[in-house]
Amino acid sequence: MKEVAGGCCAAKGFSASGVHAGVRRNTSKKDLALIFADLDCTAAALYTTNLVQAAPLHVTKRNLAGGTARAVIANSGNANACTPDGEETAREICAALAKELAVRPDEIIINSTGVIGVPLPAGIVTDAIPALVKGLSRDGSDAAAAAIMTTDTCDKQAAAQVEIAGKTVTVGGIAKGSGMIHPNMATMLAFITTDAAITSEMLHAALRESNRVTYSRISVDGDTSTNDMLAALASGLAGNPPIGQKDDGYRAFLEALNHVNGKLARSIARDGEGATKLVSCLVRGADSEECAEKLAKGVISSSLVKAMMYGADANFGRVLCALGYSGAPFDPRRVDVSFLSSGESVAVCKDGMGLPFDEILARRVLSRDEVQILVDLRGGAFEAEAFGCDLTEKYVEINGAYRT
C-alpha cells in the first residue's frame, strides 16, 4: 500500500469542485462542494448517533436505500438542522443538482455543516449549482475540501493505493471537523471515493469496521453533532474481481480504507478548535480490544487531561482518574504511564504509583505539537489508540461567538 495525491479525485471516475455560493458572508471562502462520479456507483453511509439529526441526513438515507449514488453535495456555513422546511430545502437542492447533472434526485448524497437552527434558503445553493457543475475537475479535490470547512484551520485530504488480485485499487477522500467532535463520530463530514469493485453491502460493512477504529476514536470536546456523516462511493473502475464477501480482497480494501480514514481522523483531532497539539493515548496490555479502546477514549476525552496537555503539566493523576471512571475493567495496581514525543519519553507512573521524574524533560516532552500518553496495563495482549487534542482558551473564544 502507498499514499498518493488527489484526495477525493484520486480514484478513477471522480471529479470535484467547490465554489462560494453565498451561504457564508465571507466571499473569500468557498461554501459549496460537489463530488461527481462518471457512472453509477455502489454507495454506503454512516450517520450521527445524535437523536437530533439534520434534514439532509433524512433525505440522504432515503436516497441511498437502493445502495447506489452518483454525486455528493455539501455546504458549509449552515447546518440545515432544526428548521421547519429543512427537508424541503434539501430535496429542492437535490432536484436542481440532478437536473444539471442529468441524473436522478435519489442518486445524490446531500449534507450541510454550520450553524444549527437557522433556515437555509434553497435559492442560495440552487443558484450556484450551474457554476459548481461547470467547475468539476479531476483536480478539484482541493476546492471541494476547502468548501466544507467551518472552523477548520486547514483542509483534510488523503488517498492510498493497494493491489487487489493484480489490480491497483485507489481509495481517497476529504473530511472536515474541528469542534463538536467526540467518539462514535462527531461534527464531521467525510466523503470517501474508490474505484474498487465492491457491493454496497460490503462497502457498508467496511465503513462500519473502519469507522470503529478511526473516526470513533477521536474527541475534541465531548460533543456529537446533528450532521455527522461518513459516506462512500465505489466506481468499480479498478477492474478488480468484485468484492462480495470478507475475503482477501475485502481485507486489502479495508487496509487502504483504514489508512485513509485514519489519516483524516487524526487530521480532525489535530485541528481541534483552538488546539495547539495532537494528543493520543495508546493503551496496551488489556484483556480485550474493547477494553483498551474504552480506556484510551476515556483519557483523550477528559477535560482535565486536555487542560494538562495545554499547560505541559505532567499531572499523571488525571490520566489515572480518567482510566478509573471510563467504565472499563483493569487493575490499578498494575498500571504504568509514560509521556512520549519526538523520540523522548518520561515515565511518570509505575504499578499505579507516582515515580520521581525530571520536570524539565517532562515539560519538553509535553510541549511538542504531537504527544502520546502510553498506558500499559500489564495484563492481556490487546491494545487500542485514540486521538484528541489539548484544551485552550481559544476554544471558548471560538464557541462563545460561533453564531454571531
Q: Please state, in angstroms and rounded to a whole number, the distance separating the CA atoms of residues 192 and 207.
A: 10
Other CB atoms within 10 A of residue 133 CB:
18
DSSP E strands: which ranges in 298-394? Answer: 336-341, 344-350, 353-354, 370-376, 382-389
Q: Write down the pLDDT at residue 173.
A: 98
Taking the C-alpha atoms of residue 202 and residue 31, their distance in angstroms, rounded to an integer, is 32
**Secondary structure element (H or E) that encloses residue 254, with its range:** helix 248-270
259 and 214 assigned to the same domain = yes
pTM of the model: 0.90
Closest of 32, 100, 87, 27 to residue 56, by C-alpha: 87
Distance in angstroms (rounded) separating the CA atoms of residues 72 and 9: 13
Radius of gyration (C-alpha) of the chain in whole angstroms: 22
Each residue of 231-264: pLDDT tens digit? 999 999 999 999 999 999 999 999 999 999 999 9
Kindly state the DSSP code that residue 99 receives in the 8-state scheme: H
The domain that contains 248 carries what CATH number? 3.60.70.12
Same domain, 31 and 162: yes
pLDDT for res 221: 63
Q: Which of 270, 287, 307 is the last residue of a domain?
A: 270
Residues 67 and 142 both lie in one domain:
yes
Specify whether 239 is located in the same domain as 141.
yes
Residue 338 identity (one-letter amino acid): S
Position 271 scores a pLDDT of 84
Q: Which of 209, 236, 270 represents a domain boundary (last residue)?
A: 270
- Kindly give the residue spans of alpha helices, DSSP state H, lying in 102-140: 122-126, 129-134
Looking at the structure, tell me whether residues 28 and 155 fall in a common domain: yes
Domain finish residue from 243, 270, 297 = 270
Matching residue, cell 487531561:
305
| Same domain assignment for residues 337 and 388 | yes
Write down the pLDDT at residue 395.
Answer: 80
Q: Which residues of the chain have pLDDT under 70?
A: 178-187, 221-224, 402-404
Number of structural domains in the chain: 2
In which domain, by residue range, is 50 found? 2-270
How many angstroms separate the Cα of 270 from the Cα of each of 85, 154, 181? 35, 10, 11
Catalytic residue set = 187
Q: List, for residues 312-365, the tens digit of each pLDDT value.
A: 999 999 999 999 999 999 999 999 999 999 999 999 999 999 999 999 999 999
CATH number at residue 373: 3.10.20.340
Q: How large a percentage of the chain has pLDDT more than 70?
A: 96
Side-chain-side CA neighbours of 106 within 13 Å: the count stands at: 8
Residue 232 has a pLDDT of 98
Please tell me the predicted confidence (pLDDT) of residue 151: 81
